[in-house]
Amino acid sequence: MSYPLSVTPRTLMGPGPSSVHPRVLQAMALPCIGHLDPDFIGIMDRIQVMLREVMMTDNELTIPVSGTGSAGMEAALCNLIEPADRCVVCINGVFGNRMADVCGRYGGEVVEVTAPWGEPVDPADVQDALRGSKTKLVGIVHAETSTGVLQPLDEISRLTHEAGALLVVDCVTSLGGHPVKVDEWGIDACYSGTQKCLSIPPGLAPVSFSPAGVAAMDSRTTKVANWYLDMTMVRSYWGSDRTYHHTAPVNALYGFHEGLSLILEEGLEARWARHKANHELLVAGLAEMGLAMLPAPEYRLWSLNAVCIPDGVNDVAVRKRLLNEYNIEIGGGLGELKGKIWRIGLMGHSSTPNNVITLLGALKAILQ
pLDDT in tens, 246-268: 999 999 999 999 999 999 999 99
Q: CA dihedral in degrees (178, 183, 186, 190; nearest 10)?
A: 60
| Dist CA 16 CA 197 (whole Å) | 9
Amino acid residing at 23 = R
pLDDT of residue 2: 87
Mean pLDDT score, 220-248: 94
Q: φ, ψ for residue 183 (rounded to 5)? A: -75, -45
Confidence of residue 241 (pLDDT cuts 50, 70, 90): confident
CA separation, residue 355 to residues 104, 151, 339 (Å): 41, 26, 24
Mean pLDDT of 283-305: 98
Contact 347, 173 (CB under 8 A): yes
Widest pairwise Cα distance in the chain: 65
Span 178-209, pLDDT tens digits: 999 999 999 999 999 999 999 999 999 999 99
- CA-to-CA distance for 339 and 353, rounded, in angstroms? 27
The CATH classification number of 22-264 equals 3.40.640.10
- Reported as a single tens digit per residue, the pLDDT across 65-121 is 999 999 999 999 999 999 999 999 999 999 999 999 999 999 999 999 999 999 999
Residue 132 has pLDDT above 90, yes or no: no
Model pLDDT for residues 307-317, shown as the tens digit of each residue? 999 999 999 99
Residue 284 has pLDDT above 90, yes or no: yes
**CA terminus-to-terminus distance, the chain:** 46
- On whether the CB atoms of residues 21 and 259 are closer than 8 A, the answer is yes
Give me the percent of the chain exceeding a pLDDT of 90.
97
Q: DSSP character for 143?
A: E
Domain residue limits, the chain: 11-15+268-367, 22-264
Is 268 in a helix, a strand, or coil? helix
pLDDT tops 90 at residue 1: no
Closest CA to 192 of 183, 184, 180: 180
- The rounded mean pLDDT for the chain is 97
In this prediction, residue 346 carries a pLDDT of 98
What CATH topology corresponds to 11-15+268-367? Answer: Aspartate Aminotransferase, domain 1 (3.90.1150)
